[in-house]
Amino acid sequence: MDKKSKISVAENESLKLFNCQMMPIRFVLGLVLSLTFISEKSFSQTPRADSLLTVVNSSSDDSLKVRAYLDLGQEFLSSDISQAIHYLDDAILIALKIDYKKGLADAYNLQGRALANQGNFQDAIFINRQSLAEYQNLNDKAGEANILSNLGSIYYRMGNSSKALEYHFQSLKISQEIDNKLRIGTSYNNIGTVYQKSESTLDDALDSYKKALDVFEQIDYEAGISTVAMNIGEIYFLEFKYDSAIQYHQVALEICDGTIDAPFPLTQLGEIYGILGEFETANNYHRRALGISEKLDAKFDLTQSLIGFAKTQKRQGDSQQAIRTLERARVLALEIDAKNELKDAYEGLSELFALTGDYKTAYENEINAKSIKEEIAKSSTDEMIRQLQFEFELSQKEAEIELLQKDTELKNAAVSNQRIVIFAAFGGLFMFLFISISLFRNNLSKKKANRLLQAQKEEIHAQREKVELALDQLKSTQAQLIHSEKMASLGELTAGIAHEIKNPLNFVNNFSEVSYDMILEIQELRSKQDTENQPSETLKTENDKLEDELLRDIRINLEKVTHHGQRADAIVQGMLEHSKIRHGEKEPTDLNVLAKEYLNLTYQSFKAKNKDADIKLITDFDTSIPKIEIVRQDFGRVLLNIINNAFYVLNKKNGTQNEDKLPTLTLTTSFYTNPQGLKGAKISITDNGPGIPDKIKGKIFQPFFTTKPTGEGTGLGLSLSYDIVKANGGEIKVFSEVGKGTTFLIDVPAHEGANEA
């Protein structure tokens, strides 16, 4: 069970009313809300299970059998989920047979939990909704609140925070109506867990946790007090309010010391006292956390405790001991596949090896950390894809069930009509007219039913086609997301390399320039001395000539070093520009004005450098385009990069022989509304240059890829343009044909409510 997600025992105290119904209570900054349920039962066949099976085999009361099967399902929920589901299936069959509503609702409830424990979220949500409907029909508010909480927990595990909050707030409302204190406190804690997932809602999380703590203190529920106190302490730690964090972690520690819950507050207290410089106190807390984790063989807790201990050792100045501690944490994280902890271990090792001067090992650990980050990002993307596909499959299954229900109703109606015909026939021939009329009406009813069924089938077919289209779009989006994650990781790596190169490169440039000036001073001094003494060339010694020749060669070499150093500095500047995060704010912008402004600016700059160049400009601006929400300066940079590239290739065309067409650049804008009603604007930049070969077309947006000769380009312009357009919510595409030219098409969505002018 994930140490960051603890579970509380439910409020119902009667075993027959599910005394083991578990409520998800957050432990500390949980990544997912666990639906694993704690049980003190043995994993083997228990005496209680034997006793319940005896009831099933000997009782003639079906309602008692249902309750026995429910208790058996509960008994095996934590040890053998497949066996638990088997018993719950038996309970459902009997409950349906005898129309035992409460037993059916409880069976669906437990089966939904079992399926969630298996990770079968789609079926778990479907079964929980059936259970919710049964509880609502019974007006069982406690059961209804329980199911809503379970649904919220499942959606949280799936990463759908908004849906999770919706269900948890519904559960809270019902719990408050029936004044169930334990469930009220649990709901507040669950809501705080969802809020804490985002840094922007930490205050909301803290408010929810304090409400939960107040409720748990009212009913003196120690497990809840301990858990919520840790959560509050964690938030204060993240907000650097160390006095408050210490206070709440001490409250939690007084309750859970010595248990599996203790390593987290102990580790946090150790880190806090390490930050405050009280290292003896800090080390005592860290050793207690390690001791409890090792004693209970809690490898995940031990991994986190080691990482926290290493941070304190680093602050204390003991880099070598911190490295040994992090190496141990790294081995454990690999063993239990804890990716976030493994990332933290690699990053910590990278910093420590850099401090000790082992830059090679530091770089290796930094690369490993970036690799783990990419795995985590890809996992997050895959989870989002699976969630969207899951929603599609769930809606499809519900539509199929609804169709089956309607088909059954139609069949029942047909059977009823046939009975009417049979009974009418026994009435005698004198009822012939009546029978004929009845048959006629029956025929009309069947035709109407068939038309209705056909219409429903056509509607379902149309919906299925729409869903399949959405799935294709989803796969395309997945590919784009994976590409974006790769580009982001490359940008981080580029920034790191550029920063590392910048300082030594500055030294090379500065010292080469100083050395060049010193050589000039020496040559001027020697020239001045020669003029005063007026020695003839024949009187100069071989050493003097050799010195003059060496000084001249050194000066030439320094000129080359300075030239290439300045080139390298320009490349590094481009790398940093490509990787830096932009903080510009979007503003309503007239794309026509922006495009015209940057076209004129680029053309004037180009003409200043290439006075003999002759390029024809063609523009066609759509005046119906409304103002678009974009970061104006960044977007202008995109236009600048693309137009500059076009002028470059057109200038090459200008210089070639036997060209019968004037080099031309065409810039157009247009406004559109797609079939789904979404509005947007397009900017097209076309040149009649040589075009881009197919074999390199897919590489042009990659960083450092360029077809220009050495010294004329860094290969970062189009890569930066791609990132800027994506950051503004748009798309950039290239269409090119060798020998005919190239078109760059930029598509930007209009802000909500934009209309054609």
CA torsion 344→347→348→349, rounded to 10°? Answer: 120
Q: How many domains does the chain have?
A: 3
Q: Which amino acid is at 638?
A: V
User: Is 212 a member of any domain?
Assistant: yes
User: Is 706 a member of any domain?
Assistant: yes
- Asked if residue 77 and residue 177 are part of one domain, the reply reads yes
User: Is 616 a member of any domain?
Assistant: yes
Q: Give Cα 157 distance to the centre of its chain.
A: 13
**Minimal CA–CA distance to 239: which of 471, 29, 383, 472?**
29
Classify burial at 455, counting beta carbons within 10 Å of its beta carbon; exposed 0-12, middle 13-18, buried 19 or more.
Answer: exposed
- Asked if residue 597 and residue 627 are part of one domain, the reply reads yes
Q: DSSP letter string over 345-358?
A: HHHHHHHHHHHTT-
CATH code, domain with 122: 1.25.40.10
CA atoms of 710 and 713, how far apart (whole Å): 7
**Minimal CA–CA distance to 742: which of 670, 656, 647?**
647
Q: What is the mean pLDDT of each successive set of 10 residues along the chain, which is 757 residues long?
A: 34 28 31 32 61 86 90 84 90 92 92 86 87 92 92 86 91 93 93 89 92 94 93 92 94 92 94 94 94 91 93 93 93 88 91 91 91 79 61 61 59 61 62 73 77 80 76 63 60 66 72 78 75 58 75 78 71 61 73 90 84 86 89 86 88 59 90 82 92 82 71 68 82 89 90 50
User: Is 83 a member of any domain?
Assistant: yes
Q: Looking at residue 723, what is its pLDDT? A: 81
- Asked if residue 688 and residue 574 are part of one domain, the reply reads no
- Asked if residue 594 and residue 550 are part of one domain, the reply reads no
| Domain-ending residue, one of 156, 191, 219 | 219
User: Is 132 a member of any domain?
Assistant: yes
- Asked if residue 677 and residue 710 are part of one domain, the reply reads yes
**Minimal CA–CA distance to 229: which of 306, 212, 219?**
212
pLDDT tens, 563-589? Answer: 777 767 766 666 666 555 454 678 899
- Asked if residue 61 and residue 144 are part of one domain, the reply reads yes
CA atoms of 206 and 248, how far apart (whole Å): 12
User: Is 676 a member of any domain?
Assistant: yes
- For residue 6, give the DSSP letter: E
- Asked if residue 157 and residue 9 are part of one domain, the reply reads yes
Contact 352, 326 (CB under 8 A): yes
User: Is 49 a member of any domain?
Assistant: yes
Cα-based angle 106, 109, 114 (whole degrees, multiple of 5):
125
CA atoms of 508 and 561, how far apart (whole Å): 8
- Asked if residue 575 and residue 625 are part of one domain, the reply reads no
User: Is 684 a member of any domain?
Assistant: yes
Q: Looking at residue 401, what is its pLDDT? A: 56
- Asked if residue 144 and residue 62 are part of one domain, the reply reads yes
- Asked if residue 37 and residue 175 are part of one domain, the reply reads yes
Q: Looking at residue 14, what is its pLDDT? A: 28
Q: Looking at residue 384, what is its pLDDT? A: 60
CATH code, domain with 601: 3.30.565.10
- Asked if residue 142 and residue 112 are part of one domain, the reply reads yes
Q: Give Cα 108 distance to the centre of its chain.
A: 32
Q: Looking at residue 604, what is its pLDDT? A: 87
3 state SS of 291 = helix
- Asked if residue 129 and residue 19 are part of one domain, the reply reads yes
Domain that holds residue 533: 518-579
CA atoms of 513 and 302, how far apart (whole Å): 55
| Domain-ending residue, one of 166, 187, 219 | 219
Q: DSSP letter string over 68-122?
A: HHHHHHHHTTTT-HHHHHHHHHHHHHHHHHHT-HHHHHHHHHHHHHHHHHTT-HH
Q: DSSP alpha helices (H): ranges in 16-61?
A: 47-58
| Domain-ending residue, one of 510, 545, 579 | 579
Distances (CA, A) of 177 to 10, 180, 633: 18, 8, 54
CA atoms of 634 and 589, how far apart (whole Å): 12
